[in-house]
Structure 1
Amino acid sequence: MFEFLRSYIIYLALLSGIVGVLSLPKLPGNKAKFLVLLIWFSIITEIVGYYFTQWTGLLNFYVYNFYMFASFSAYILLLRALLTKYKDRIAAVLFLILFIISYFLNSLYFKEDMNRSFTYSFAIGVLLVLILSCLYLIEIFNSEKILNFKKSVFFWYVLGILVFHVPFTPFMLAINWFLIKQDESIFSLVLFILNFLAHSCFIIGFLWSEKKYNY
């Protein structure tokens, strides 16, 4: 019933990507512009993932597993750049190493059958990003930034990441661990709703943020 919604996710990403490009004048540094790059990377991934099977005859798990590796690595590096406390930045580096190790262990575990999602690496990546995001939010709320946190594009981007990944993780694990039959209609509906919420956060961040808070 809702299977068609999955094909509309690309339009949500395109909308936030276009708004991001139009907002570039108030995204002064490379760190802020990196957010727009990440959105367009997701757009390219969706396009390649859609046509991958048609082009290669292989299932598109290869595309999305690579995207998961690249995106979570990028999220961790972004959060490291946003964190100001030395111990938190060191923790981010250690988390990145842990995630990379988990990804390659997951690859070895599934080396006989690569046509599946790297669920364990995804769950570990979400947990690590969640911890770093909490450290970032704690830093904001314990500093003068609390007065203007809504005017920072980084706050809204981190919120968008959490809004998508935190609810989606137990959904994925339930399918994987408890062998629940994946209903494509429900799966597409969940994906669309979470993408809608995430890209809404990105768009709000681009529109509401102010240049002086985006460094």
Structure 2
Amino acid sequence: MPIYGVTLLLSLYKYPRYFDSKLKYLPILFFYTLLNEFLGYLINNYEEFSLISADTYHNYNWLIYNIYMLIFYLYFYYIFRFYIENLKHKQHIVFGAIFFLAVCLVNAFIDDFSKLPQVYSYVTGGLILIYCSVLYLKKFFAIDKIFTTKENLLFWLSTGLVVFYVGYLPIKVIRYIHTIHETPTPPIVKRIQFTLIIVSYLCFIIGFLRMRRRLPE
């Protein structure tokens, strides 16, 4: 949570440099992330914060994380659809978002949305987000643009998203398999997850620190 807090503070400090762009809602998203993690901790550790009355599920916090997943993915689909210039790729993102929502609907029937992780939705949404991020990053592969990357906030956001989801989606699947077979997840998996979070948010922080004033968008 500390690195979430630092990212939120930087997003607010640098807000005058991007308040008139499509990224203007980033501070809200980072605040929501921090609040969601804090609430998830409270639900998991204190019965009085439970969202489900049944004793068996008193520490289940999947509802807030499932809602967060929907908002997080759809927000970045919207962002990338705006900033990616190729019309065909824009259409791909729209179709991807529709497919993601369809998977969410099916997944909610398979696994209770309020009590269980939506693994199929999460993996599908993550793969689409990786696709969107890579599409955006491709524009910086050209030699004449390589030196502008350090000043581009969305470049660093995209890099952080790719790093996290490429590493975390296999972890999500591994945990799901262990849950099905009722076997414990190896401790190293959690350490890898924390490392991925730190690296991805360091990318976000670098983006805020190095960004310069951009024209309204």
Cross-structure match for 1:3: none
Q: 2:171: which partner in 1?
A: 171
3-state SS of 1:49 partner: helix
Contact 1:32 1:214 in 2 (8 A): no
Task: Give the residue type in structure 2 aligned to 1:42.
Answer: T
Q: Judging by fraction of residues, say which structure has more helix.
A: 1
Aligned to 1:31, what secondary structure does the other structure show? coil
Structure 1 residue 210: deviation in Å? 1.0
Among residues 50, 59, 78, which one is paired with 1:56 in the alignment? 50
Pairs within 5 Å for 1:129-168: 129-142=129-142, 145-168=145-168
Contact 1:26 1:214 in 2 (8 A): no
Kindly, what percent of the aligned residue pairs are identical?
Answer: 24
Partner in structure 2 of residue 39 of structure 1: 30
**TM-score, normalised with respect to structure 2:** 0.85
Q: How does 1:1-150 map to 2 (within 5 A)?
A: 10-53=1-44, 54=47, 55-56=49-50, 58=52, 59-111=60-112, 114-142=114-142, 145-150=145-150
TM-score (norm 1): 0.85
Q: Match of 1:157, as an amino acid? A: L
Give, in whole Å, the separation in 2 of the partners of 1:105 and 1:121.
9
Q: By how many angstroms is 1:130 displaced? A: 1.2
Structure 1 CA distance for aligned equivalents of residues 146 and 26 of structure 2 = 21
Secondary structure of the corresponding residue to residue 32 of structure 1: coil
- Matched residues in 1 for 2:50 and 2:204: separation? 33
- Residue 207 (structure 1) aligns with: 209
Deviation at residue 159 of structure 1 after TM alignment: 1.0
Are the equivalent residues in 2 in contact too, given 1:19–1:203 (CA < 8 A)? yes
8 Å CA contact retained: 1:16, 1:199:
yes
1:46 & 1:199 partners in 2: Cα distance?
15
Q: Given that residues 13 and 42 in structure 1 are in contact (C-alpha distance below 8 angstroms), is that contact kept between their aligned partners in structure 2?
A: yes
Can you give the 5+ residue segments of structure 1 that lack an aligned partner in the other structure?
1-9
Structure 1 residue aligned with 2:56: none
* Structure 1 pair 61–175 and aligned structure 2 pair: CA distance change class (3 A): same
Give, in whole Å, the separation in 2 of the partners of 1:42 and 1:116: 19
Matched, 1:181 2:184: yes
The one-letter amino acid of 2:199's match is: L
Q: With a CA cutoff of 8 Å and minimum separation of 6, indicate the structure with the bigger relative contact order.
A: 1
Cα pair 1:153 1:214 within 8 Å, conserved? no
Q: Shift of residue 191 of structure 1?
A: 2.7
Deviation at 1:190? Answer: 2.4
